[in-house]
Amino acid sequence: MRRWLNLFIWNMRFQARYGFYLLYAFLTIFYTVVLFALPITWRGKTAAMLIFSDPAAMGLFFMGAIVLLEKSQRVTAFFAITPLKAFEYVLSKVLSLNAIALVVAGVLAYVSGSRQVFLVLVGTFLSGAIFTLFGVLVATKITSLNQFILFTVPVEAAGFLPAILHLFGITPDYLKYYPANACMDLVSGRGVTFIGLLFTVALIIFLFYFACHEMLRMWQEQGGAKI
């Protein structure tokens, strides 16, 4: 537990050192100004789109940048010869990025006048976990930022487009069980069906297991056998 906590704190410091918090602070201020400038009736759905597409889904891009940077600095090769477990590494990444996203989501939900801040935070956490885990999977397979951007296009399309359409009631009713749409329901404060929540949690568990497996394999390829 102590080892994982130290890794979590190290991730927070790493993100602060490379300007992640500064960028989130700028985005929060900018989005707050945008929400205040909009009519009250528009703020709910606008805030949901902003929370889903930035504080939650930015984890996809940040995760790729972080892992690529660590690969270039040979940090991941060092992990291969330490007692650190792959699941500890992946979990610390997911939770540290989600911690920032939750703060931003809470601020935007409050500014938009949402009465379901708890649901917004749950939706932000679940969607953030999905996107950051996808970010881990993609980052373990590529060697450059250009490759990462290219490989994340299908993830963006599968995650963003259905959720935005669902927010405006354009998608069929059965797509409310789609994990991205279920997360959007929570982010917009509308609640979610049990089946939709079940599918979302199942997807996160699957992605987490797969991400840990691929991360361990990357460590072994870069730094030798895990001890």
Helix (H, G, I), strand (E, B), or coil: what is residue 208?
A: helix
pLDDT (0 to 100) of residue 150: 83
CA pair distance 94, 133, nearest whole angstrom: 7
The model's pTM is: 0.89
At which residue do the structure tokens 């009519």 appear? 39
SS3 track for 167-221: HCCCCCHHHHHCHHHHHHHHHCCCCCCHHHHHHHHHHHHHHHHHHHHHHHHHHHH
More confident residue, 222 or 2: 2
Confidence category of residue 65, pLDDT binned at 50, 70, 90: confident
pLDDT at 3 over 80: no
Q: What is the enclosing helix (H) or strand (E) of 26?
A: helix 20-37
pLDDT (0 to 100) of residue 226: 45
Per-chain mean pLDDT for the chain: 85
Q: What is the pLDDT of residues 121-172, one digit of tens each?
A: 999 999 999 999 998 888 888 877 788 878 888 888 888 899 999 999 998 9
pLDDT at 115 over 70: yes
Percent of the chain with pLDDT over 90: 36
CA pair distance 150, 122, nearest whole angstrom: 29
Token pair belonging to 132: 């950051």
Domain region containing 133: 2-223
213 burial level (CB within 10 Å; 0-12, 13-18, 19+): middle
pLDDT (average), residues 17-31: 86
Domains identified in the chain, total number: 1
pLDDT (0 to 100) of residue 32: 92
At a CB cut-off of 8 Å and minimum separation 6, what does 91 contact?
4, 208
57: how many CB neighbours lie within 10 A of its CB?
Answer: 27
183 burial level (CB within 10 Å; 0-12, 13-18, 19+): buried
pLDDT at 224 over 70: no
Q: Cα dist. 224→32, 79, 130, 171, 227 in Å?
A: 48, 10, 29, 48, 9
